Amino acid sequence: MSEKVVVITGASGGIGAATAELLASQGHPVSLVARRQEALEEVAARCHDRAQVVVADVTDRPSVRRAAHQAIEKWGRVDVWINNAGQGITRLPSQLTDDDIDAMMRANVKSVLYGMQEILPHFQSRNDGQIINISSLLGRIPFAVFRSAYCGAKHFVDALTTMFRSEVQEKYPGIQVTLVSPGVVRTEFGKNALHGGPDSRELPGSQSAEEVAAVIARVIASRLPDVYTNPGAQARIGAYYATVGVDP
């Protein structure tokens, strides 16, 4: 794969950090975007002098715009934009508040929308580029009741990704919009969820952040539109929806 300039949001830890380190090790320049400067600097130090640190809150549109401009100014172009930032929640659907819903929309939907919209003009100017949105298996199957609002947000991201791809590719077929859906990943996601909750690193059937990063790297090379990181995910989704009844 030729050199790609990659912007990664949520790059201060977990999947974002693992992806940055892997891509940098393969020779790709990376712009690391997140709120925590010290954590970003630590990730950048492991990226073989191929990283730019951009401190920004991706739930704020002007900050996302600034991150895009800084990456383009630094590297001369952006080839891939990865919307990885997000946050979980631990609250049953009957207990959800307005603030809970608003928080999930900001962290998981608006951050993705801002990233796609702000990098799009740069990609359109070249009819080239790839947006990768990191979703979740919960965006396909709402099986974790305590993650209710997060499931809803990821369903929103899945639909938004597909519609954005359809719209953009009508005039700009060189731009790809890819959805990547991991299952449980051994990161601090659970620990950092709104209202606390179970530690993702202790849940069964998990993957490492490095395993997910390897899938993301392959997706940059293949430019596939829709990918699951966990073997067997597609069969699990099919089995879930096969049980849905149809009223004749």
Question: Other CB atoms closer than 10 Å to residue 142's CB: what's the count?
Answer: 16
For position 206, what pLDDT does the model report?
75
To the query of whether residue 114 is one of the catalytic residues in this protein, the response is: no
Q: How far apart are the first and last CA of the chain?
A: 51
Give Cα separations from 136 to 66, 153, 244 (angstroms).
27, 10, 21
Please, what is the average pLDDT of the chain? 94
User: What architecture is domain 6-242?
Assistant: 3-Layer(aba) Sandwich (3.40)
Confidence of residue 240 (pLDDT cuts 50, 70, 90): confident
For position 204, what pLDDT does the model report?
63
Which tokens belong to 77?
A: 């172009």
User: From edge to edge, which strands make up the β-sheet containing 6-9?
Assistant: 51-55, 30-34, 6-9, 80-83, 129-134, 175-181, 226-228
Residue 12 gets which letter from DSSP?
T
Q: What is the average pLDDT across 232-242?
A: 89
pTM above 0.85, yes or no: yes
Q: What is the average pLDDT across 23-32?
A: 98
Confidence of residue 248 (pLDDT cuts 50, 70, 90): low
The single residue of 114, 150, 172, 240 carrying the catalytic annotation is: 150
pLDDT one-digit tens code per residue, 201-235: 766 677 999 999 999 999 999 999 999 999 889 99
Lowest mean pLDDT among 133-142, 179-188, 235-244: 235-244
pLDDT above 80 (res 55): yes
pLDDT one-digit tens code per residue, 95-118: 999 999 999 999 999 999 999 999
pLDDT one-digit tens code per residue, 64-98: 999 999 999 999 999 999 999 999 999 999 999 99
